[in-house]
C-alpha cells in the first residue's frame, strides 16, 4: 500500500508532527481522510500507551503538554469519540486541511491523494486573552 505523508504545521510554517498513513485509493473525501488519520494515530497510541498522545485533537481527560496531550497511565483513547471531535473541530475552523497546497472547504469534498500528493493539517493557536 502506498504511504501518504501528513504534516501538522503551525500558521508560520513550522512542522509540529509528521506521520505516514497507508492509503489504498487515490480519491477520498476530506472527512474520510480525517477519520483514517485519527483512527491510525489512536490505534498507535493505544498499542504503546506512553502517556503522551500526539494527535490531531485533544482527548477528553487529558492535559496539554509541550509535545502533545498527557493522559493517565493505561488510559485508552476512544477512536470514535476522537473522530467526532476532529470532524467537529474541522467544521468549526479549529484546523485547516491543505491538500496539494489547496485548502479543503468541506468534509464531503473529494481530494486526490495519489503518488506525489501532499497533505498538511494547519493547527490554529488559540489567542490568549482574546
Determine the pLDDT at residue 67. Answer: 65
Asked if residue 104 lies in contact with residue 111, where contact means CB atoms within 8 angstroms, the answer is yes
Least Cα distance to 98 among 81, 78, 77, 123 occurs for 123
Q: What cell does 70 get?
A: 498527557
pLDDT, average across residues 95-120? 94
Stated as kind and residue range, the H or E segment containing 120 is strand 119-123
Element (H, E) at 76: none
Over residues 13-52, the pLDDT tens digits come to 888 888 888 888 899 999 999 999 999 999 988 898 776 7
Q: Is 6 helix (H, G, I), strand (E, B) or coil?
A: strand
pLDDT at 83 over 80: yes
pLDDT band at 82 (very low <50, low <70, confident <90, very high): very high
pTM of the model as a whole: 0.86
Amino acid at each position: 500500500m502506498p504511504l501518504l505523508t501528513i504534516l501538522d504545521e503551525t500558521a508560520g510554517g513550522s512542522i509540529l508532527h509528521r506521520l505516514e498513513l497507508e492509503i489504498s485509493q487515490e480519491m477520498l473525501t476530506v472527512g474520510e481522510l480525517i477519520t483514517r488519520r485519527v483512527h491510525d494515530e489512536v490505534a498507535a497510541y493505544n498499542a504503546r500507551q506512553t502517556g503522551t498522545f500526539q494527535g490531531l485533537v485533544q482527548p477528553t481527560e487529558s492535559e496539554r503538554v509541550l509535545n502533545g496531550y498527557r493522559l493517565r497511565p493505561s488510559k485508552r483513547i476512544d477512536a470514535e469519540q476522537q473522530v467526532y471531535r476532529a470532524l467537529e473541530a474541522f467544521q468549526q475552523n479549529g484546523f485547516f486541511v491543505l491538500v496539494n497546497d489547496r485548502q479543503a472547504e468541506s468534509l464531503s469534498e473529494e481530494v486526490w491523494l495519489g503518488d506525489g500528493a501532499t497533505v498538511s493539517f494547519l493547527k490554529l493557536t488559540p489567542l490568549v486573552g482574546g
